[in-house]
Structure 1
Amino acid sequence: MTTPITLSAPEYTDADFRRLQAIAQEQAGICLPDTKKALVYARVSRRVRELQMASFSDYLAFTTSPSGTVEMEKLICSITTNVTGFFRERNHFDHLRTEVMPSLIPVLRQGKKTRIWSAACSTGQEPWSIAMTVAGSFPEIGNYDFRILATDINSEVVARAAGGIYGRDELEGIPERERGLYLEDDGAGSLSFSVSLRKLPSFKVLNLNAPWPFRGSFSVIFCRNVVIYFDDETREALWARLSERLEPGGFLYVGHSERVANATQCGLVNIAPTIYRKEG
């Protein structure tokens, strides 16, 4: 009979936490306050144990070494929070449907390109909610030059989002009408989005605080409940970069507890709580 290996709790010092704070800031712009020390331990210690390392110090030495590139991504994934839901903060989707789509539909009919960006898509509920909203406003949108770019720093949640498959217990927030139109039973207890809706979003891994590998502009950007993890300097720099990517007259949606403090400098006008429009 084989005796199971029991791994002791990995050593975790104040110095290790300081190192983690620096890594999170440098790699992802995430500000980890001192109050998060225990939470970080709970999340990262699993990776330390899986690699059978005795201490956080050993783990961080490996992660920051030339051979630790893949593990660095796993580390960042472990300290990011992915709380989301379909049609979360519904006023944004109501605004998209009633105020934005009526102006975008004529542009699409003229054969022009239109793009929407879900800048922190997590497990995909936000971009799929966007897709249902625009398809509900313009059912033939799949025949036009329209796409939703959905990005997140966490490759694991991006892969899940791209799959477009959700359990029945995850569908809270989707109205019955949309469920009937856009979701199909996969026969295994889950539902997946229809082929027609799958044409709309494109899912990519992206660090918002690193260079962006695209040059195009967007009519709408959703960047919600992300900058609460950044310090003021990182936050204001990101708002400015997002504004640069907005078309004149385009809209930026932010989280319910967020605001663009440097809106005027970015050329943004606050037209409603958590909704900004680019001047021009």
Structure 2
Amino acid sequence: MLNHEINRRFKSRITGGGALLLPGAANALAARVIEDLGFEAVYLSGAGLTNTYLGMPDLAFISLPEIAQHTAAIRDATELPIVVDADNGFGNGLNVRHTVRTLERAGASAIQLEDQKTPKRCGHFSGKEVVPLAEARSRIRAAVDSRQDENTLIVARTDAAATDGLSEALDRAAAFVEDGADITFVEAPQTVDDLRAIPARLADTPQLVNLVVGGKTPILSVDDFTDMGFALVLYANVALQSALFGMQTALTQLKDQGRMDESGPLAGFMERQRVVRKDLFDDLDNRYAY
């Protein structure tokens, strides 16, 4: 399926009502699992990519070429819409223009930009700082102007709730809507009342809520978030955290017992091949044989 059509369908789904559960993937294999399980879209997490690709914390170590490389790999592995975390756009409006055009070519269906200063931090870390509102708005305007497909969505995130309070964050989100953002994302609200206030204030624009297991935002059900008026319920790193737990579990058993077979806590060999579509590549190999 062409990316334009993927984007068009995703845009229609986001504006069609009912919260969409959005799991994060740090690589193409995780995206394959997410699609295989029947989710409707996938999120390329900057934090997850930093953790898995570099083995480092989410403190602005990932670059645009690395994000674009992984976006392209996920696009090749799945036909799901991809929401891509582009951090703060890697600079000023001109840098944001380059970021959006690069990620759109790589296969992004939606591109998320935030208002943090460089170096940025994970949204659930302490010590964040945001740029002045005028600078933040210039990033969103540049992103909106730079996309080539009108169905590519711009997600405008603000971290101002942590630095200046929820009211300032809501004001920023409203300003981003004026600048053309398709979705707004108020990061790290800390109470249920704060959560309710977000779609109540920004009712005319789809809202994303980010749920970090062990993080600052209360975890509620998808139905609860639908009732509040959210359009996207993001679990950016559940796949990563469960994979880390799974590796620790399996490798501890291997170390303790000195052996591992298919009775162990792992997917079998054939299941691994099924998820990565080996049968598809076998068919292609036969088709192009000479």
| Coarse TM-score class (shorter-chain normalised) | under 0.3
Q: Which has the higher contact order (CA 8 A, sep 6+)?
A: 2
| TM-score (normalised: structure 1) | 0.27
* TM superposition score normalised by structure 2: 0.27
- Work out which of the two has the higher radius of gyration on C-alpha atoms and give 1 or 2: 1
More strand per residue: 1
